[in-house]
Amino acid sequence: MTDRYAVFGNPVEQSKSPTIHAAFAAQTGQTMTYSKQLVALDGFSEAAEAFFAAGGKGLNITVPFKQEAYSFAARLTARARHAGAVNTLALQDDGTILGDNTDGVGMVQDLLENLGWQIRGKKVLVLGAGGAVRGVLEPLLEQLPQHVVIANRTIDKALQLAKGFAEMGYLLGCGFDMLEGQQFDLVINGTSASLAGEVPPLPNDLLTADGHCYDLMYAAQPTPFLVWARQHGARAVSDGLGMLVEQAAESFKLWRGVKPETKLVISELRDNLT
């Protein structure tokens, strides 16, 4: 019987996960199917239970179910526990469900391996304090940046997040209005402002001469944040399409025990976007 996998979300029609995992399966010679499933907003647990009861082997989880997947899992990886959210569920040999979060390691892999950027020793600014940011902080801090500042419209959320990860590195929280006079080597946009065609309120001199800017969002055209970055002297910019593929590769490795190559898949997705 062919092993079954899927992505759960609402909405989910736009998901590129089936295309990505089909490419991974073909590349690595794995026999499996991967589909996308629209799940009712109040029906995650029932849908997940039914999927695994019917022989499903693993799930990717997208918005708005990552916290529910966290609660659904019988066991959690350390990075999922710290993130407080799960984007990957995997059936284990003993019949239990393991929850993992591959978002942060996917972002770091994209930054270091695909883009050739550096994190170690760099001054890093992360914009936003929601679930997307929470999911990437631990892998980011593991790369030993000089420090990480979290800036958010609601300063209390930034401070709470900084406090929650304080044992992992030098981490500060602030409001956007407190960024004046500070400069950063790497700015990561984890807000949803790009979806509304907006950019967080940032000072014009935010970037160092070697400033790099990364948006967790991706689109066929540069996001508003990346347009801002180019206009304000960024040496290099990138959206999060590579992160999408890299986090999927981590999920695939967890399920199938083999790590696929990602660069060609990223390139093909990029071509299809444009």
CA-CA distance, 243 to 104, in Å (whole number)?
A: 8
CA distances in angstroms from 145 to 93, 94, 137, 179, 244, listed in the order given: 38, 39, 11, 18, 23
CA-CA distance, 260 to 25, in Å (whole number)?
A: 8
CA-CA distance, 113 to 183, in Å (whole number)?
A: 25
DSSP tag of 193? G
Is 119 marked as binding a ligand?
no
Is 130 marked as binding a ligand?
yes
- Among candidate residues 180, 246, 248, 191, the one with its CA nearest the CA of residue 223: 191
**Which among 36, 57, 66, 122 is annotated as catalytic?**
66
Is 155 marked as binding a ligand?
yes
Is 218 marked as binding a ligand?
yes
Is 169 marked as binding a ligand?
no
Name the one residue in this structure whose structure tokens are 């390691």: 105
66 is catalytic: yes
Is 272 marked as binding a ligand?
no
CA-CA distance, 58 to 4, in Å (whole number)?
A: 7
Is 206 marked as binding a ligand?
no
Is 154 marked as binding a ligand?
yes
Is 253 marked as binding a ligand?
no
Q: What residues are designated binding site for shikimate? A: 15-17, 62, 87, 103, 218, 247
Q: What residues are designated binding site? A: 15-17, 62, 87, 103, 128-132, 152-157, 216, 218, 240, 247
Q: What residues are designated binding site for NADP(+)? A: 128-132, 152-157, 216, 240
List the catalytic residues: 66
